[in-house]
Structures are given as structure tokens and as C-alpha cells.
A and B are shown apart, each in its own frame.
Chain A
């Protein structure tokens, strides 16, 4: 997972020819070929086609009709689309900060104080469960009538809560479910990053009398940056793509409180047969995610490492 770019090609042309002659470039392409084919067939082509479909009106059963940017014009004025965007953003804001902070705390504890990889594998357990199973489990755990959480609340004298059935609590509940599932995996990635930090820095810090908190702030965090960027980008992009938990627990309800953008796209495409419109919405989401990722890379200077 080395993200640092250190080499600087001074004589690019001659070197390229030299390597080509030695067959290394060819070999490289050969090695990349399987991945490349997969990328083009399963991603590049469908994405390009999706872009085209976004310019048409298409119900899948009759021929697509080219309508130019009409779908985009409609989307910009579509309150439901913007509502879904806001709901999605709300979810990301509930999910990512808490998940990342929790994962950091767990990672530090494991990195500094827990020895042995057996404990670490425990972190992965929630992540190993399929999303749908997790969602179903929590659907029952959080049920207002029969759920164990409310049984507990009532036992200690608290009022029972609606969780997924309430407009205000549904989204935080879903965020909670997904934090539970992902926090261990995120922590594991962060631990891997922390292991790359030379131990003698901590020894030196300890000699100078620095506290754990200070060492975390001045050693761990700055040196963790490249991994942090990776974790943040993948988890934010993944968070924007929230779908299965919602499909299982709330179906976008109650009162559209959890109708995130992917659910909206799904409904437009597979319930209302507006495939052109749904594709256009996907393209907008794609554009937003690209921008978010670029901004993050920039802000966190991902291609530099303080270690190199």
C-alpha cells in the first residue's frame, strides 16, 4: 500500500525504448490485461452506455428515444431528486465522522496496547456478515414492538423508541447499523497504516516524556495521512452508495426520510421504467463523487508521505 511517488523520470524516452526492448513494458501490459479487460467490459463500456442512455427516454421495452439534455433539465427542477441528494448527504454526515473517529480510537488501542493478531481478526467479524443479514438482524433488534433494544429500554424505565419507523430516528438508526458493520474493517485498515510508522518514533517520544495523546496527535495522525486518505475516500464513496440496508429496513420510508439517491435511482429505473432519467441521475451522482474525491486528494495531499 505504498502511495508515495518518489521516482522522477529524467530521460523518459530513452528509458521507455530501453525497457520496451527488454520486453518489460510488454510484460507489464500482459500482466495488466486481465484487469484491463474486466475494467473495460464491466465498467468502461457500461459507464459509457449509461451516459448515452442518460440522453434518451427509454423504458427498456421499446426503442430508446434521443432527447438530448432534457433529462438533466428535468432533474435540476426535480424536488424529489434534490430531496434524495440531501437525505444522502445527511446520511454521509451521520455515518463518516463517527465511524472514522471510532475506528481511529479502536486502531490506536489495538496498535499501541494489544498484541497478537487473533484479537484483530475479531474486528472483522461484523464486516464478514452480508449487508442484508445485518440489516435484517437490526430490523428485529430495533423493532418497536418486539425488539430487544426496546425491551431493554422498558426494563430500565426508558420510553420505547420507534427507531426505523420514525421520521427522525430512521436515518440515524441506519447510520448506526452501518457504523457497527464497518467500523472494525476501517479500524483494521488504519492499524495496517499505523504499523508502518517506525516504532522508534514512539520510543523517542516516550523518552521525551510525551503523553499518548500527544504522540497520537504529533506522530500517528500526520504519518497516517496517506492511509487516512484512502480510508476516507473509499468510505465516503461507499457511504454515498448506501442502498441495501435501506432496501431491507425502510424502503426509503417513512415519509421519504430515508429515500437516498440510490433508492431514488432504483425506483425511477425498476419501478417506473424511466431508465433514461435514472441514468442521468446516476451520471450526476458520479460527477459529484469524482469532485468529492478530487477535493479530498487535494486537501489531504495524498501523494506525499511524511515518511519518505
Chain B
């Protein structure tokens, strides 16, 4: 049985290698046979949008049916891995920057550059450098479908009670030395059992009734948390995409992380790491125990559906070197084991087209990668009564984003850095110790 599978995979791989040289041939075959493509995605919120895309696609290509399968994040990746091993993966699947380098090194996703050249797809139509994130050494592994940025989300009632206005987020600042007006705002929004806020000398940090902030630090990329702050000092994970040296021994990141950890450990303004780790910040926020959280644009709909009190979105605090967040984007990749590579490419090409991205934008779930479709999304959000301009502003602001630190050995990096960040957040080790040590471990991987 094992032998069979190997043989099978090898033939498929051979077919995959041959495919780019004969796209026209394959396409003519595609026009005749009825084909069902399995398409995988992890975000349940986006399912209706992509079902709409699939319907439009099948209408234009009656011989290709799209079968969408959705699994939650953790199961999704396990399923893809076992699918690759057993020869039963999705033909096309939503891919993530933290995951795709490993699939490339294992030879599991198709280089679509020949298809792109053949069909003349314009890769500059996507926002910023999104398309570059998916190419390496002249090969390309996906067409951008959306992007995400981060903003602050506030509980309106708590803000009003504290005597603050949403305008505060337009100009709040942060620095690793004293936390700037960010720390003051968070303090002002923290209340102890006696109703004293964090700025009061009588504030009892051991009996907090309402936290000013719920932010988890125990995460390897800190996309919606520590990276917003650490990178606003000018620090970067590494010097370039596909770099081989991380900079967690840099004073700026060490100070930033320690300052954020102390916001919880020393001040008592941030919800305890244990709590946000078990519940997610959005749950803590929706339970009404924290006034502010930072979260990504992919959460907008979840917020709209699950938050029962008035809330709003605001800009990120400005750090010593400006206001910045991670610019992350998803793309669709084709599995090398797919028996329908040509049809898969047609589907990927469609999802990367203005037509599909306008459909997705119109459903107001995420910001599509094509700017005009992102504007459509903004308008659709507005129609739902959600003012989400901070997300778009962050994406369009000059130097407002840094790219996801794409690199090899991502799973080892994740395991090591998660443990190091947890240790600092829980007060088990100071950042000055844990981070340089972890840095050495991860740089040894290359």
C-alpha cells in the first residue's frame, strides 16, 4: 500500500512538472470534461463570500464545479498535511505566509509563474507588495486574495465613563520607556473594585474589576499585539523577506516586550496572560471585562455579530518611529498532487481577478487585495454601520505596514518564540534573558 501511494505521488509530480510546458494542451482537455475541484478555507466568516465566487465561476465555466470545504484553523492545517501525505489534499487551498515556505520546500505547491506569464495576469494590480510575498527566486506560489491590518477596538460605554472620546486614538503615542499617552489611556480605562482608575494613587492592582486592555503576548508573531509596538521603534524581525537572521537580541524589541509585559504584571492594566491565553482577547472584550483590544481586520464581522454593546474602531498608537502594523495577506495555492492543475489554475486566476474580489468585497468580510475591491468592502462595511477606516488608513499610510517576516523553519520558530514570549508575559523570565536566548536558538536553525 505504501509503495502504491509513492508511485502515485511520483506520477502526479511528474505530471505537475510537465504541466507548465503544456498549459494550452491541458486547457483544451479541461474544456470538455466535467471536473469537481475541492477548495479549502479556514475562515467560516468567508464561506458565503467564496460560495458566491464559486457560483459565478461555475456559471462561466460550466464544466468545473467548486466544492468548498471549511475547517477551523488548527484542524485545517493538520488536514492539509495529512491530505498531502495520503494523496487526498484539496486541489486549491487558502494559504498563509507562515505556512507556505514549508510546503514549497516539500514540493507540495505548484509554481504558477508559467501560468501567470501565459495568461498575462497583472501582478501589480494588488495592494502594495502583496504579490511579492508569494514569490521566491522567480517562482510564484499564489495570487493575493486579501490583506489584513490591525486597529484598536474600544468599548464605547467604558470610554465615555472614563471621560474619554474616540478622538483620543487619533493622536495617542507610545514609547518603551514610560508607555506614553497609550499607557495613560489604558490606565484611565482600568477600574478596581472600588471604582478607582489606574491613575489614582488608591488604585488596587490586585482587585481589578475592569481592565483597560486585553492583549496576549505569548505569541510568536504578535501580529495583533507586541509587533505593533516593537516595530514602531524601528525594529524588524529580520532585515529582508526570506532572511536567515532574526533580531530578538536587539535592545528595542527587548525593551518593548518588557514594557508591555509590565503593563499587566506590574501595573495590572492589561488582563492577565493566563486569562487571554485561554479565552482569546475577543472573548474577554465581549464579556465586558476589558475596554480595549487590538485586532485584525478579519475580525470585523465577528465583532459585529457577537458584541452586544456599542463599540468602535480606532487608530494604533504612534511609536518613536511612527504608526505601523504587520501587513499580511492570504493567497490561494494549487497542490502539486491535484489531478486538475489546469482547472485549478482557472479557479485561482478567477479568485485573483477584480470580478471575484469585487464579489468578496461586496459581502463585507475582509479587504480584498485589489484596491478598488477594498473600497467596495469599506463601503459595504459602512452600510452595515461599521466605520472601519482605521484598517484601510493603516494599509494606505506611507510606511504604515511592514511585511510578514516570511522565512524557512517557521514551525520551529513558532514553537521557540511562543515559549519565550509566554515566559516573559507570565513573569517567568525577563525579556532581556528570554529573548536573546531564543534568538540564538532560532538563528541556529539556518
Cβ contact of B279, chosen from A145, A167, A272, cutoff 8 A: A145
**B429 nearest in chain A by CB position:** A255
Which one of B24-32, B141-149, B267-275, B379-387 contacts A? B267-275
Interface SS, B side: helix
Asked if A253 lies at the interface with its beta carbon under 8 angstroms from chain B, I say yes
Chain B residues 93-144 with CB under 8 Å of chain A are 102, 106-108
Asked if A267 lies at the interface with its beta carbon under 8 angstroms from chain B, I say yes
> With A255-B423, A270-B81, A273-B106 in contact, is A165–B273 under 8 Å at CB?
yes
Interface size on A, residues (CB 8 A): 23
Cβ contact of A162, chosen from B274, B284, B422, B423, cutoff 8 A: B274
Asked if B15 lies at the interface with its beta carbon under 8 angstroms from chain A, I say no
Q: Would B412 and A272 count as touching, CB distance under 8 A? A: yes
Chain B residues with CB under 8 A of A146: 279, 287
Chain B residues 20-44 with CB under 8 Å of chain A are none
Asked if A27 lies at the interface with its beta carbon under 8 angstroms from chain B, I say no
Report the minimal beta-carbon distance from A252 to chain B, rounded to whole angstroms: 9
Q: Would A144 and B278 count as touching, CB distance under 8 A? A: yes
**B271 nearest in chain A by CB position:** A145
Interface SS, A side: loop
Q: Contact flags (1/0) for A23-65 with B, using CB distance below 8 Å?
A: 0000000000000000000000000000000000001111000
Chain A residues 232-272 with CB under 8 Å of chain B are 253-256, 267, 270-272
Q: Would A61 and B278 count as touching, CB distance under 8 A? A: no
Q: Would A144 and B275 count as touching, CB distance under 8 A? A: yes
> With A61-B106, A255-B426 in contact, is A164–B411 under 8 Å at CB?
no
Question: In the complex, A256→B414 CA distance in Å?
Answer: 13
Q: Would B275 and A59 count as touching, CB distance under 8 A? A: no
> With A61-B108, A143-B279, A271-B411 in contact, is A165–B274 under 8 Å at CB?
yes
Asked if B266 lies at the interface with its beta carbon under 8 angstroms from chain A, I say no
Q: Contact flags (1/0) for A164-175 with B, using CB distance below 8 Å?
A: 111100000000
Asked if A139 lies at the interface with its beta carbon under 8 angstroms from chain B, I say yes
Question: In the complex, A253→B416 CA distance in Å?
Answer: 11
Chain A residues with CB under 8 A of B272: 144, 162, 165
Report the minimal beta-carbon distance from A163 to chain B, rounded to whole angstroms: 8
Q: Would A165 and B411 count as touching, CB distance under 8 A? A: no
Asked if B419 lies at the interface with its beta carbon under 8 angstroms from chain A, I say yes
Q: Would A167 and B275 count as touching, CB distance under 8 A? A: no
**A164 nearest in chain B by CB position:** B278
Q: Would A256 and B278 count as touching, CB distance under 8 A? A: no
Besides the contacts A61-B107, A273-B102, what 6 more A-B pairs have beta carbons closer than 8 Å? A61-B84, A144-B274, A162-B272, A164-B278, A253-B277, A254-B426
List 23 A–B pairs whose Cβ atoms lie within 8 Å, in order of A's numbering.
Answer: A61-B85, A61-B106, A61-B107, A143-B278, A143-B279, A144-B275, A145-B278, A146-B279, A146-B287, A162-B272, A164-B278, A165-B273, A165-B278, A166-B274, A253-B218, A253-B277, A254-B277, A255-B422, A255-B428, A256-B419, A271-B411, A272-B412, A273-B106
Interface residues of B (CB under 8 A from A): 9, 78, 81, 84-85, 102, 106-108, 218, 272-275, 277-279, 284, 287, 289, 411-412, 415, 418-419, 422-423, 426, 428
Interface residues of A (CB under 8 A from B): 59-62, 139, 143-146, 162, 164-167, 253-256, 267, 270-273
